[in-house]
Homo-oligomer: A and B are copies of this chain.
């Protein structure tokens, strides 16, 4: 299968260089000729939205997505209302920064009723869609690995994300395919094909063996067991040719010098993604 041979689609998901501030990450991307960046809201908050907007504009970088909205389920109606307010702020920030996509990490259940939490996610998305659409933002449902079901998201399969997204127009709600979360799914290729025209993000990293940690155990592309190229080709066959975000939670990678980390990422991107 054909290799990627340019960096046109490469996006630095900011969490991969967690030690860098937003200004530092932007500068590092510019130095490394990486054209895209995905921004995290806690980093935005540190820099301030106005300053972040200026930095992005001056740098010429494009914003592939904002991470993250979601976290819909909560124990009380009041808490769910607060979450919805925060989601509206996330939409506004995405629009301000010129991102098309707000990534949704849908949230865990507040109790043992995971089915009820899944309904709260569906209701939360239904409520957020008109506001997002009025701001030109597409919501991207990212299914998270089942090992995060109790702490981060009750949407754990691409089939769940597809089922919700299909209730909306593609410019309203799409799905985000992150190889780390979905590589093991026996229905992966069937569900990627089903998502044709609705894939709004593609994230790469690798699954390393032995896996050292639930959260911090992601690897750089090529260091693990994921058939990255096969998944990318499937995603492209489903019509997605947008940015490819490198999103890695890994202490060793976080401890690299920023420029070194980006150089390694670029090398592995061509070699393995």
Contact = CB atoms under 8 A, between A and B. Distances in A.
Contacts of A184: 114, 146, 149-150, 154, 156
Interface string A137-160: 000000001110111001011011
A113 interface: yes
Given A157-B186, A186-B156, A186-B157, A151 B114 contact: no
Interface of A: 109, 111-114, 118, 145-147, 149-151, 154, 156-157, 159-160, 183-186, 207, 209-211, 213-214, 217, 224-227
A145 B146 CA distance: 8
26 contacts: A111-B225, A112-B225, A112-B226, A114-B183, A114-B184, A114-B225, A114-B227, A118-B186, A145-B146, A145-B147, A147-B147, A147-B211, A150-B184, A150-B211, A150-B224, A150-B225, A151-B209, A151-B210, A156-B184, A156-B185, A156-B186, A159-B186, A213-B213, A213-B214, A214-B214, A214-B217
Contacts of A224: 150
A69 to B, nearest CB: 21
A264 to B, nearest CB: 20
Copies in the complex: 2
**DSSP class of A's interface residues: helix, strand, loop or mixed?**
loop
Nearest to A151: B209
B146 A185 contact: yes
A3 to B, nearest CB: 16
Nearest to A147: B147
A136 to B, nearest CB: 31
Nearest to A226: B112
A160 B156 CA distance: 17
Nearest to A182: B146
A204 B217 CA distance: 27
Contacts of A147: 145-147, 211, 214
Given A147-B214, A211-B214, 9 more contacts: A112-B227, A146-B146, A149-B184, A150-B207, A150-B211, A150-B224, A151-B210, A151-B211, A156-B184
B109 A225 contact: yes
A113 to B, nearest CB: 7
